[in-house]
Amino acid sequence: MGRRIATAALLLFGLNALKGVVALDNGLAITPQMGWNTWNSFGCSLNETVILDAAEKLVSLGFKDLGYEYVVLDDCWSAGRNASGYLVPDPAKFPNGIDGLAEKIHALGLKIGIYSSAGTMTCARYAGSLGYEEKDAALWASWGIDYLKYDNCYNQGQEGTPKLSYDRYNAMGQALNKTGRPILYSLCNWGVDGPWNFASTIANSWRTSGDLLNTWDRDDANCPCSELEGLDCKTPGYKCSILNVINKAVYYPSKAFPGAWNDLDMLQVGNGGLTDDEAVAHMSLWAAFKSPLLMTNVLSNIDPPTLSILQNPAVLAVSQDPVGSSVNRIWRYYVDDVDANGYGEIQLFSGGLAGGDQLVLLLNAGSKDRTMNATLEDIFWEDGPGGTASQVQQSWDVYDLWANRMSNETAAAIINAANSTGSAAPAAPINMTALGGAKHVYSQVPPSDSKALMGTKVGSVQPSGTVKAFVKAHGVAMLRLRQQSQKKDEL
Ligand SMILES: *[C@@H]1O[C@H](CO)[C@@H](O)[C@H](O)[C@H]1NC(C)=O
Ligand SMILES: *[C@@H]1O[C@H](CO)[C@@H](O)[C@H](O)[C@H]1NC(C)=O
Ligand SMILES: *[C@@H]1O[C@H](CO)[C@@H](O)[C@H](O)[C@H]1NC(C)=O
Ligand SMILES: *[C@@H]1O[C@H](CO)[C@@H](O)[C@H](O)[C@H]1NC(C)=O
Ligand SMILES: *[C@@H]1O[C@H](CO)[C@@H](O)[C@H](O)[C@H]1NC(C)=O
Ligand SMILES: *[C@@H]1O[C@H](CO)[C@@H](O)[C@H](O)[C@H]1NC(C)=O
Ligand SMILES: *[C@@H]1O[C@H](CO)[C@@H](O)[C@H](O)[C@H]1NC(C)=O
């Protein structure tokens, strides 16, 4: 057991001291947005064919049913501006225009997102929107666009203070609002100037750090946040690993609330760089931190384990929980079993869910499987430090949210059916449509006997007790605690 790093002072960062802050009032992203984005798999080789194919797969593989609704075009869709200063879609990539594509995506019951940069050029050096905010927003609205991812490249040095960043991003926020069309505004300035402090009134989400690489951990001076780099976890950096992004996001959980989310960057699940346990941990952490969940894998050749990670309703219900409260990190210890990159640590995250339930996430970033322990006193630290929280004196049932992960056989059957007929999934984990739709299902407290939404009850913990869980190396235990019935005290 190594040194305990988290201190009470650090924990205070996580307290919900921000009540009363106003969100951007566009009615969107009341729970973190879910969808699919072109970038990590297609880069600049996007076109109508691959995007429509992904949209169709969102439907036929059952993703739409589970709440994944936005199909987002990233960089490289345009062919510059015309003589009147309006952006023109690349006609080779989009022979039917983006409005034509939008119509087809809407016909599938999905929504469409687009990309630009708050700079003179996008990151891939296409026309940017700085100075063209109103024209661009009006054009996108006229095409039926529902979502904007707004990047930070070629910003002409208009950053370095929160005000400079705020003003530049607010210009687009105002322009989007002026269109009268509700357009989800996903601000992507990589954490520069602390968007968690200035963006919640102008955007629905903001990136907390540099681009997430398809790696579990990785030493990189460009994205510091390890003991070797002096624990500088407040420099946003770029080319960040999963562990690195998490070790930065722990400072801002309380800044997120319904309509305004910390964006830990798009999911790398299914892109090949992670083991199965690492991908499960990645998905669990992103859901627990209420990050937007934008898949980026090629859906037309998804494999069964990937499908079953992205389609665990018990985990998605945590992401979409109506309380909308991120987990806080309670503690972090270094451990001796480091991996090849020199990392070895374990962490406890905890946070409230609807119905008085509590999410407990135990992260094992050591290189050995281990049993991990979390006391109720630690789990409910945010509700009253030092064991003063009333919840510490209750008995709790413990549910393992990954226990009912879909089998690879079921996942393969879904993929085969979508491959051969293009028809709806035959064996989806839960029929959301029959239950009133994903948004409705997630807005309820899940019934204790719902295997899809609660996983499996694996034990219980007595007052002042300790939750124990076996956690694989580079893995997590994701547990939902539910208070036991008080009947025996009521008489
Ligand atoms: C669309 O993009 C895909 C992937 O980059 C490519 O294989 C395909 O040839 C492209 N189709 C058209 C019509 O450009
Ligand atoms: C430029 O594009 C806009 C929007 O599509 C269009 O209304 C306008 O006519 C175009 N102008 C020229 C000169 O092509
Ligand atoms: C524009 O902003 C106003 C004031 O915050 C808000 O009431 C309205 O819903 C917004 N409209 C859109 C389309 O976002
Ligand atoms: C579904 O089709 C894709 C593309 O043809 C292929 O890569 C994949 O292996 C197929 N999956 C199954 C389970 O047959
Ligand atoms: C958890 O507790 C068990 C004893 O119940 C102990 O063997 C194990 O080392 C503990 N794990 C950690 C990570 O402290
Ligand atoms: C599905 O297959 C993957 C990869 O082989 C494996 O790691 C995982 O444990 C399997 N899932 C289940 C539920 O058996
Ligand atoms: C889900 O429920 C809906 C509405 O009851 C029904 O139409 C649909 O066939 C069901 N889907 C599956 C896969 O059973």
Instruction: Encode pLDDT of 23-42 as tens digits.
Output: 788 999 999 999 999 999 99
Instruction: Look at residue 201 and tell me whether its pLDDT is greater than 80.
Output: yes
pTM for the complete prediction? 0.94
Q: Which of 75, 211, 220, 265 is catalytic?
A: 211
Say what the pLDDT of residue 228 is: 54
Q: Is the CB of 388 under 6 A from ligand 4?
A: no
Residue nearest to atom 13 of ligand 1 (CA): 49
C-alpha to C-alpha distance for 116 and 122, rounded to whole angstroms = 6
| Average pLDDT for 39-66 | 97
What pLDDT sits at residue 232?
67
Residue nearest ligand 2's atom 2 by CA: 86
pLDDT at residue 168 in the model: 98
> Taking all residues of the chain, what is their mean pLDDT, rounded to a whole number?
92
Q: Which one has a higher pLDDT value, 448 or 18?
A: 448
| pLDDT tens digits for range 240-276 | 999 999 999 999 999 999 999 999 999 999 999 999 9
Amino acid at 350: S
- HSE, side-chain direction, 13 A CA sphere, residue 136: 27
151 is catalytic: yes
Residue closest by Cα to atom 5 of ligand 7: 434
3-state secondary structure 227-281: HHHCCCCCCCCCCECHHHHHHHHCCCHHHCECCEEEECCCCCCCCCCCCHHHHHH
388 CA → ligand 5 middle, Å: 24
Tokens of 453: 């939404």
What atom in ligand 5 is closest to the CA of residue 468? 1
CA 53 to each of CA 61, 73, 81, 362: distance values in angstroms, whole numbers, following the listed order: 12, 13, 28, 37
Percent of the chain past pLDDT 90, that is, above it, reads: 86
pLDDT at 390 over 50: yes
Residues 172 and 187: their CA atoms lie apart, in Å, by: 10
Name the pLDDT band for 233 (thresholds 50, 70, 90). confident
| Ligand 7 atom with the shortest distance to the CA of 425 | 13
What would the pLDDT profile of 268-302 be if each residue is shown by its tens digit? Answer: 999 999 999 999 999 999 999 999 999 999 999 99
What is the DSSP code (8-state) at residue 423? P
Extended strands (E) in 313-357: 328-334, 345-352
Strands 147-151, 111-117: pairing kind: parallel
Closest to 181 (Cα-Cα) out of 118, 139, 151, 128 = 139
Question: Residue 339 — very low, low, confident or very high, per pLDDT cuts 50/70/90?
Answer: confident
Task: Give the model's pLDDT for residue 230.
Answer: 58
Give the per-residue pLDDT at 486: 53
Q: What does the alpha-carbon distance between residue 84 and residue 135 come to, in Å, rounded to a whole number?
A: 10
Give the count of beta carbons closer than 10 Å to the beta carbon of residue 272.
Answer: 10
Q: How confident is the model at residue 457 (pLDDT cuts 50, 70, 90)?
A: very high
Atom of ligand 5 nearest to the CA of 346: 13
Could you tell me if 327 and 349 are in contact, meaning their C-beta atoms sit under 8 angstroms apart? yes
HEC string of 435-490 equals CCCHHHHHCCCCCCCCHHHHCEEEEEECCCCEEEEEECCCEEEEEEEEECCCHHHH
The answer, yes or no, to whether residue 346 has pLDDT greater than 90, is yes
C-alpha dihedral over 56, 61, 66, 68, to 10 degrees?
A: -40
Strands 111-117 and 70-72: parallel
The residue among 58, 112, 120 whose CA lies nearest residue 307 is 58
Q: Which residue has the tokens 């665990």?
A: 312
Contact 253, 328 (CB under 8 A): yes
Backbone angles phi, psi at 263, to 5 degrees: -105, 110
Name the amino acid, one letter, at 68. Answer: Y
Q: How far is CA 207 from CA 113, 177, 381, in A?
A: 17, 21, 27
Range list of β-strands (E), 65-216: 70-72, 78-81, 87-89, 111-117, 147-151, 184-187, 205-207
Compute the average pLDDT of residues 205-219: 92
For the residues 330-354, what does the mean pLDDT come to? Answer: 93
Per DSSP, the three-state class of 145 is coil
Residue 122, pLDDT above cutoff 80:
yes
- Mutating to test ligand 7, I would choose from 414, 433, 435, 441 the residue with most ligand atoms within 8 A of its C-beta, which is 433
Q: Is 412 in the pocket of ligand 4 (CB under 6 A)?
A: yes
CA proximity to 150, closest of 72, 261, 248: 72
Half-sphere exposure of 294 (CA within 13 A, CB side): 28
Residue of 4 and 196 predicted with greater confidence: 196
Q: Is 211 a catalytic residue?
A: yes
Q: How far apart, in whole angstroms, are the C-alpha atoms of residue 221 and residue 219?
A: 7
For ligand 2, whether the C-beta of 98 sits within 6 Å is no
Within 13 A of 225's CA, how many CA atoms are on the CB side? Answer: 24
**Cα 184 to middle of ligand 3, angstroms:** 12
pLDDT at 2: 39
Query: Which element (helix H / strand E) includes 474?
Result: none
- Residue 443: the pLDDT is 97
Q: Which residues contact 249 (CB under 8 A, 6 or more apart)?
A: 208, 209, 262, 264, 289, 291
Residue nearest atom 7 of ligand 6, based on CA coordinates = 276
Distance (Å) from CA 31 to ligand 5 centroid: 36
Q: What is the mean pLDDT of residues 151-168?
A: 97
User: Which ligand approaches the C-alpha of residue 45 most closely?
Assistant: 1
Which ligand approaches the C-alpha of residue 62 most closely?
7
Does 165 score more than 90 pLDDT? yes
Q: Which range, of 10-19, 149-158, 264-273, averages the lowest pLDDT?
A: 10-19
Question: Which residue, by CA, sits nearest to atom 3 of ligand 7?
Answer: 434
**Calpha distance 366→368 (Å, rounded):** 6
Question: From the CB of 424, is ligand 7 less than 6 Å away?
Answer: yes
Q: Rounded to the nearest 5 degrees, what angle is found at the Cα of 442, between the Cα atoms of 54 and 454?
A: 105
Given a cut of 90, whether residue 115 has pLDDT beyond it is yes
Instruction: Assess whether the C-beta atom of 201 lies below 6 angstroms from ligand 3.
Output: no
What mean pLDDT is predicted for residues 457-484? 98
The number of the ligand 6 atom at minimal distance from the alpha carbon of 277 is 7
Please give the domain boundaries of the chain with CATH numbers for all domains. 34-320 (3.20.20.70), 328-405+440-483 (2.60.40.1180)
Residue 4's pLDDT is 44
Q: Which atom of ligand 6 is nearest to the CA of 411?
A: 1
pLDDT of residue 123: 97
Can you give the pLDDT at residue 12? 36
